[in-house]
């Protein structure tokens, strides 16, 4: 649709219609205007799949985005983009709220798993491939969260203080690439930015949102607010926000209409937003061409072929696994001794119940779930044995209370008693519920409190633990004793903090042999823009083996097995949107489990089921450690493919794995007086590690990580034979530098190599431009080769990778000199250098 055709439609709309169009009609859709043929544009999350906006259907559940980035494979990213398009159409979705291209600035970031990498170039390459492929199929991707929204602590309020150069070279870089690649939509962040000139919420930051994104980069798509992030009318309108989501509640709506009528907001500004919405609606097939041109339509852009998600997801899971170490060649698993069937001890709470996906808005209800034990049993030869023992305790909350144990203390009927109270304490209605999922959204507008009561059968002798996890004003008692009480009223903040999804329960111990009375008064939460709800996770731990006895059982299984596979990881209590992690330790007693298993059987493979870095204090003692991410629905099948040698685990770390908490360059993102100061500037992630390593000499050298950025072994070995340049220098007008790297597979299995090229700036840069990183990723390419064969990787290092932002001049410059380009297996494993000359005069 041409701009003129869009203008004609805008002119047909009245002021009220225009003001309504730039506010969501509901949680997930914009308004329709039948008169001009405009249908609602439907949006849905998010980065690990496309959630059904009706909240009913299931979805393909992908591995977390950092797993995709760990493949460093833009073809796989493109195929993932096609899957997003198919999934979007399956669920009637036009715009997917993904990908997230914020950076993994600190390993404690709650949404670390939703981001791709700590490196802007790797982030951009993966995101561009994914967004392009989805949009080619007529589905919009909404790139988020613009900008510098890299942590969750106090996330709706903090200001990220980032100097202009750092913004340009690091945090804006993926967005810039995506806009150049034609992204149709961008989501503005909850947090704010202080770039040294303006300190404002992201949605009101006119220099960034209007100046850079729209005017300088020429973004012609739609800027959508993050959900309930809009705090103002005129300031956000002028800042550059186009559509407030969700709606119809919120500051826009009537507020916007009034502001236009009073002249505070110009009609031209409103028209520009409407124009952008119509353009997006047309792109995704929700606004037809004018009748005169309809014959020229290539067909319904919404007719996207369905995709069979399972093979791709399975491949992604296996390909993303990073072999951190495998000293004794334990992976793939060999046969048992003398060809006998293999006995595997599959251990750890995560072996029983993997952590499939992180918490927060990216959550999807999966089409199916696959489990390591089932998949491994199916994949191993007949006669093999897989013994499964959880062994570890990973959750702070006890398991959910079984309602079959409960009776209504008033009526004696099976179930829990629910009484809904008005604000004055009057009981409005009462019922006995036979099912309780931990919360309830079926709340009346005048209900203020839910009183919940159950007589719980606790007849097993021994100590039982009972309690309730909730949010807001509450009082929980067990047999009249107070387990927990709170008087802090919560509202939409609690939604944004995600705590309501995983409240930690306060519990009390009761002696078994009879029953106990569990009672709770729980606040009805009313988050504006979202439905009312009550949260009450009823929990119960039965008497049973002690934690030590459970560890003993795991160690015994390991001792009896040919090989032990221990799966450890994070949980929804620690890796989620809405909060950052307090530390980098594995939760519960998992370190103890690994040590016990290693002592029982040295033939042990540890698989880490986590999205973000965790400390592995036993790392040096474990012969084999694989990073298995948050793998999504094919957790079981993908892992079995790796363990049995069907697919090579060819992942490489897209971030740095620290060995000790004290070594982490940016250990937290706790705002100080409301400000998160990006004081490390350009040295995001591995660049900070590299600077410290380069600065030190001998014993003064900076700390080595447990595993560096880009590391991953695969299952073969590689010789880097030659690296050369297509041309020795960068000529004016060259968009990029082509580096050809020939590698030879020197192992005995076919393999995939991720050839990485790092840039070292000209000698003397440390003096002329001390802020410039000592080394950074310039480009990469993936090649396959059979044993003994060579393959040549064609790595493109974009000109931008050599450039710096000159804040004084307000433009990019390419500092001249001789750059070293190093073909490497990781940032710490250089193999071949080649010099690139940037002559003076080729700056622009």
Contact track, ligand BGC, 314-353, x by CB under 6 A = ----------------------------------------
What mask, x for binding ligand BGC by CB under 6 A, covers residues 349 to 368? ------------x-------
Query: Which residues between 607 and 666 bind ligand BGC (CB under 6 A)?
Result: none
- Residue closer to ligand BGC (CB basis): 46 or 366: 46
226 makes contact with ligand BGC (CB under 6 A) = yes
3-class SS string, 430-489: EEEECCCCCEECCCCCCCCEEEEEEEEEECCCCEEEEEEECCCCEEEEECCEEEEEECCC
Nearer Cβ to ligand BGC, position 144 or 652? 144
Q: How far apart are CA 2 and CA 289, in angstroms?
A: 9
DSSP-derived secondary structure letter, 802: G
Residues 490-529 that bind ligand BGC (CB under 6 A): 496
Q: For ligand BGC, which is the closer residue by CB, 144 or 474? A: 144
For residue 449, the minimal CB distance to ligand BGC (Å) is 26
For 535, phi then psi, to 5°, come to: -110, 130
Tell me whether residue 47 or residue 631 sits nearer to ligand BGC (CB atom): 47
CB-nearest residue to ligand BGC: 361
CA pair distance 635, 357, nearest whole angstrom: 10
Contact 256, 250 (CB under 8 A): no
Task: Return the CA Rg of the chain.
Answer: 28
Min. distance of Cβ 185 from ligand BGC in angstroms? 11
Whether the CB-CB separation of 468 and 506 falls below 8 Å is answered with yes
CB atoms within 10 A of CB 617: 15
Compute the least distance from the CB of residue 153 to ligand BGC, in Å.
14
Nearer to ligand BGC, 85 or 389 (CB): 85
Rounded least distance, CB 46 to ligand BGC, Å:
5
**Does position 113 bind ligand BGC by CB under 6 A?**
no
Q: How many CB atoms lie within 10 A of CB 655?
A: 27
- The minimum distance between CB 52 and ligand BGC, in angstroms, equals 13
Query: Containing H/E element for 494?
Result: helix 492-497
Spell out the residues 6+ positions from residue 590 whose beta carbon is closer than 8 angstroms to its own: 348, 349, 392, 394, 568, 569
Among 144, 205, 455, 691, binds ligand BGC (CB under 6 A): 144
Cβ nearer to ligand BGC, comparing 110 with 778: 110
Per-residue binding letters, 446-485, with ligand BGC (x by CB under 6 A): ----------------------------------------
User: CB of residue 499 vs ligand BGC: minimum separation in angstroms?
Assistant: 13
Exposed (0-12), middle (13-18) or buried (19+): which is 711, by Cβ within 10 Å? buried
Say if residue 332 is preceded by a cis peptide, omega within 30 of 0: yes
What is the rounded distance in angstroms from the CA atom of residue 108 to the CA atom of residue 68? 20
Q: How far is the CB of 469 from ligand BGC (least distance, A)?
A: 21
766-795 residues in contact with ligand BGC (CB under 6 A) are: none
Task: Give dist(CA 147, CA 411) in Å, integer.
Answer: 56
How many residues touch ligand BGC under the rule CB under 6 A: the total is 8
| Identity of the residue, 390 or 496, whose beta carbon is nearer to ligand BGC in the bound complex | 496
What's the closest the beta carbon of residue 44 comes to ligand BGC, in angstroms? 8
Stated length of the chain = 844
Query: For the CA atoms of 709, 715, 719, 720, what is the dihedral angle to 10 degrees?
Result: -40
CB atoms under 10 Å from CB of 298, counted, come to 6
- Least separation in angstroms between residue 23's CB and ligand BGC is 16
**Of residues 17-46, those binding ligand BGC (CB under 6 A):** 45-46
The residue (of 51 and 800) whose beta carbon lies closer to ligand BGC is 51
Cβ-contact 306, 275 below 8 angstroms: no
- Residue from 94, 226, 326, 562 carrying the catalytic annotation: 226
- Which lies closer to ligand BGC via its Cβ, residue 85 or residue 743? 85
Beta carbons of 180 and 217 less than 8 angstroms apart: yes
Residue 204 C-beta: closest distance to ligand BGC, Å? 17
User: Closer to ligand BGC at the Cβ: 111 or 744?
Assistant: 111
Of the CA atoms within 13 Å of residue 135, those in its CB half-sphere come to 25
Residue number with CB closer to ligand BGC (193 or 508): 193
Residue 227 engages ligand BGC in binding (rule: CB under 6 A)? yes
Report the run of H or E that residue 386 belongs to, with start and end. Answer: strand 385-389
Enumerate residues 151-170 that contact ligand BGC by CB under 6 A: none
In 262-338, where does DSSP find H-type helix? 267-283, 309-320
Rounded to an integer, what distance in angstroms lies between the CA atom of residue 382 and that of residue 104? 44
Please list every residue from 89 through 108 that binds ligand BGC, using CB under 6 A.
Answer: 97
CB of 360 to ligand BGC, least distance (A): 7
Q: Is 226 a catalytic residue?
A: yes
Residue 689 binds to ligand BGC (criterion: CB under 6 A): no
Q: Of the candidates 347, 340, 337, which has an alpha carbon nearest to the alpha carbon of residue 373? A: 347
Among candidate residues 599, 625, 595, the one with its CA nearest the CA of residue 613: 625
Chain center to CA of 838 = 38
User: What is the spatial distance between Cα 411 and Cα 432, in angstroms, rounded to a whole number?
Assistant: 8
Active site residues: 226
Contact residues toward ligand BGC (CB under 6 A) are 45-46, 97, 144, 226-227, 361, 496
């Amino acid at each position: 649709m041409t701009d003129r055709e869009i203008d004609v439609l805008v002119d047909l709309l009245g002021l009220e219609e225009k003001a309504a169009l730039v506010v969501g009609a509901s949680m997930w859709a914009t308004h329709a205007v039948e008169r001009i043929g405009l249908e609602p544009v439907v949006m849905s999350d998010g980065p690990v799949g496309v959630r059904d906006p009706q909240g009913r259907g299931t979805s393909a559940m992908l591995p977390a985005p950092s797993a995709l980035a760990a493949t460093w494979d833009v073809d796989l990213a493109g195929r993932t983009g096609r899957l997003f398009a198919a999934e979007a159409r399956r669920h009637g979705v036009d715009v997917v709220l993904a990908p997230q291209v914020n950076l993994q600035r600190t390993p404690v970031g709650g949404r670390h798993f939703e981001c791709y990498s700590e490196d802007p170039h790797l982030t951009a390459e993966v995101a561009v491939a994914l967004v392009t492929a989805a949009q080619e199929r007529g589905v919009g991707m909404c790139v988020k969260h613009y900008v510098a929204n890299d942590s969750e602590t106090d996330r709706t309020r903090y200001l990220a203080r980032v100097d202009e150069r750092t913004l340009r070279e690091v945090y804006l870089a993926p967005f810039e690439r995506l806009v150049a690649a034609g992204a149709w939509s961008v989501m503005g962040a909850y947090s704010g930015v202080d770039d040294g000139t303006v300190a404002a919420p992201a949605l009101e930051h006119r220099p960034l949102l209007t100046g850079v994104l729209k005017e300088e980069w020429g973004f012609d798509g739609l800027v959508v607010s993050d959900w309930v992030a809009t705090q103002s009318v005129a300031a956000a309108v002028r800042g550059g926000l186009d559509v407030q989501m969700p709606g119809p509640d919120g500051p826009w709506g009537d507020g916007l209409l009034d502001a236009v009528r009073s002249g505070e907001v110009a009609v031209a500004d409103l028209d520009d937003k409407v124009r952008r919405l119509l353009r997006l609606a047309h792109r995704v097939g929700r606004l037809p061409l004018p009748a005169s041109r309809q014959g020229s339509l290539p067909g319904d852009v919404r007719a996207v072929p369905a995709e069979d998600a399972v093979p791709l997801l399975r491949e992604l899971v296996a390909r993303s696994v990073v072999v951190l170490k495998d000293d004794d060649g334990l992976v793939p698993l060999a046969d048992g001794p003398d060809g006998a069937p293999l006995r595997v001890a599959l251990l750890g709470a995560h072996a029983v119940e993997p952590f499939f996906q992180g918490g927060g808005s990216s959550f999807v209800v999966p089409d199916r779930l696959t489990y390591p034990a089932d998949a491994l049993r199916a994949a191993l030869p007949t006669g093999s044995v897989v013994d499964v023992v959880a062994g570890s305790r990973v959750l702070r909350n006890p398991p959910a209370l079984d309602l079959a144990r409960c009776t209504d203390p008033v009526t004696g009927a099976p179930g829990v008693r629910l009484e809904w109270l008005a604000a004055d304490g009057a009981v409005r209605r009462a019922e006995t519920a036979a099912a309780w999922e931990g919360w309830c959204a079926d709340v009346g507008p005048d209900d203020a409190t839910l009183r919940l009561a159950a007589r719980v059968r606790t007849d097993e002798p021994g100590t039982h633990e009972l309690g309730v996890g909730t949010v807001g004003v509450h009082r929980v008692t067990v047999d009249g004793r107070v387990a927990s009480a709170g008087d802090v009223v919560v509202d939409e903040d609690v939604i944004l903090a995600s705590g309501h999804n995983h409240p930690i329960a306060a519990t009390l111990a009761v002696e078994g042999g009879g029953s106990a009375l569990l009672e709770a008064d729980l606040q009805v939460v009313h988050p504006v823009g979202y439905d009312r709800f009550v949260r009450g996770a009823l929990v119960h731990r039965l008497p049973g083996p002690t934690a030590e006895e459970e560890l003993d059982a795991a160690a015994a299984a390991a001792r009896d097995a040919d090989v032990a596979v221990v799966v450890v990881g994070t949980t929804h209590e620690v890796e989620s949107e809405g909060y950052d992690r307090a530390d980098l330790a594995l939760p519960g007693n998992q370190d103890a489990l690994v040590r016990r298993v290693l002592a029982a059987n040295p033939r042990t493979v540890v698989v880490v089921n986590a999205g973000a870095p965790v400390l592995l204090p036993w790392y040096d003692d474990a012969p084999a450690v694989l990073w298995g991410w948050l793998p999504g629905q094919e957790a079981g099948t993908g892992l079995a493919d790796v363990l049995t040698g069907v697919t090579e685990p060819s992942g490489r770390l897209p971030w740095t794995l620290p060995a000790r908490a004290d070594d982490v360059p940016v250990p937290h993102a706790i705002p100080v007086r409301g400000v998160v100061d990006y004081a490390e500037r350009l040295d995001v992630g591995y660049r900070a590690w590299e600077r410290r390593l380069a600065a030190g000499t001998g014993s003064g050298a900076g700390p080595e990580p447990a595993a560096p950025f880009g590391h991953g072994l695969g299952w073969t070995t590689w010789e880097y034979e030659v690296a050369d340049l297509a041309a020795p220098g960068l000529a004016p007008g060259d968009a990029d530098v082509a580096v050809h790297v020939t590698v030879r597979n020197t192992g005995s299995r076919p393999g995939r190599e991720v050839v990485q090229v790092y840039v070292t700036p000209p000698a003397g840069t440390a003096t002329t431009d001390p802020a410039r990183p000592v080394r950074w990723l310039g480009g990469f390419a993936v090649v396959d080769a059979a044993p003994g064969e060579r393959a040549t990787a064609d790595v493109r290092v974009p000109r931008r990778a050599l450039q710096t932002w000159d804040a004084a001049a307000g433009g990019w410059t390419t500092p001249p000199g001789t750059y070293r380009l190093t073909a490497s297996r990781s940032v710490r494993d250089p193999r071949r250098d080649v010099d690139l000359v940037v002559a003076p005069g080729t700056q622009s």
